Amino acid sequence: MPLLSARVGRTELAATFAMAARARALRAAGADVISLSLGEPDFPTPPHVIQAAFEAGLRGETKYPPLAGTEALRDAVSDKYRREQKLDIPIQNILITNGGKQAIFNVLMAVIDQGDEVVIPSPAWAGYEQAVNFAGGMAVFCACPQADGFVLQPAALEAAITPRTRLLLLNYPNNPSGAAITAAALEAIAAVLRRYPDIWVLSDDIYEHLLFDGFSYATLAAVAPDLAGRVVTMTGVSKTYAMTGWRVGFCAGPAEIIKACTLVQATATSGVSSISQAAALAAVTGPQDFLAVRARAYQARRDLVVAALNQIPGVSCHRPEGAFYVFPDISGCLGKTTARGRALRDDADFAQALLEEALVAVVQGAAFAMSGHLRLSTATSETTLEIACARIATFCAGLTG
């Protein structure tokens, strides 16, 4: 009789963590590794946010927090949704979660039964499939190729829906492609969803403030308010405010599902750290002007990397509209052999060889349900990115066959 549950057997460590661990091991051994594997802002948490957390501790805000989140933070998040997302959501329909990842997990555990299907446009963050599997569901990937700008097309969505489809998971700006979506494209998706009234939608908007070239933010519940009764909109402070370690996410939607998500959270973790909630409150209500400055920095990094990669024979890189990733197609390099004699059968071989031979850590596209690509995080300095791109170019120049 197996000692561990089947759900644990269905769960694997994400490739992003695995590649980051390999990079750390090589670096610990003395190698000059550049890691572009993790999606974490390199900017610091704003000082006023840290100060707010410090003051909260001094005030004694160190006890068990309210299960759904402090009233002050939920009220501020409600204002944020109204101001930025054009969504009027009362605080009783808002749940503060232990990071955006728990918001996703809560929703899936609240609506997915064994064998239910979740449509996930790909490429997609690996954590989605992991959470769907853990909940007992089945991930149905809906390919959104580079030729379509990595954006979900209505016909592709229609083809992916079956009688077992329970939820559609949207993520724009997207991890790993950086693709953003227009209001018109969301309306086209809404037109399909109107024909399937039993499908929930989870909109992961965690990269909402990281948009480039004047691209306008749009989210489904605002574009199609008639569908808002079955849309959960998730975001948080991790990417926008460089607060990954503070673990605060926001989950907003219909009362029915937020109540269910709160029950899931009560069972798993209870409320979010009071200190972290005080920090998040300061982030959401404090100065916002620095966000545009940081977005411009990410845009400059994007421009640098896209230009460099598109000069490499066999590589084609889409110009992302947001987030801090690029997702180049390296299919033109596959089937070749590296300078050290390693055969590159697929993108996983490419990523491993690039780490071992060029000391650059990236993540294979297969980890995001789209083979033939790589994900590179641009959340590091331009100097580091220049060196990394030069190493990638030298690595590719040495390929034969």
pLDDT digits (tens, 9 = 90+) for 359-382: 999 999 999 999 999 999 999 999
What pLDDT digit, counting tens, does each position of 85-122 carry? 999 999 999 999 999 999 999 999 999 999 999 999 99
Which one, of 178, 176, 180, lies nearest residue 125 by Cα?
176
Q: For 134-163, what is the mean pLDDT?
A: 97
pLDDT at 349 over 80: yes
CB 244 within 8 A of CB 40: yes
Domains of the chain plus CATH, in order, are: 6-44+290-396 (3.90.1150.10), 63-285 (3.40.640.10)
Query: What residue type is 370 in one-letter code?
Result: M
Q: Residue 51 and residue 46: Cα distance in Å, rounded?
A: 9
pLDDT at 262 over 90: yes
The token pair at 107 is 């929703």
Q: How many beta carbons lie within 10 A of that of residue 391, not counting itself?
A: 17
Q: Residue 339 and residue 337: Cα distance in Å, rounded?
A: 7
Q: How confident is the model at residue 1 (pLDDT cuts 50, 70, 90)?
A: low
Q: How many beta carbons lie within 10 A of that of residue 280, not counting itself?
A: 31
Mean pLDDT of the chain: 96
Q: Residue 298 and residue 325: Cα distance in Å, rounded?
A: 9
Q: Residue 38 and residue 379: Cα distance in Å, rounded?
A: 9
What pLDDT digit, counting tens, does each position of 190-240 carry? 999 999 999 999 999 999 999 999 999 999 999 999 999 999 999 999 999
Q: Residue 82 and residue 316: Cα distance in Å, rounded?
A: 39
Q: How many beta carbons lie within 10 A of that of residue 105, not counting itself?
A: 24
pLDDT at 165: 98
- What is the pTM (predicted TM-score) of this model? 0.95
Beta pairing partners, 201: 168, 231
pLDDT at 21: 83
CB 99 within 8 A of CB 105: no
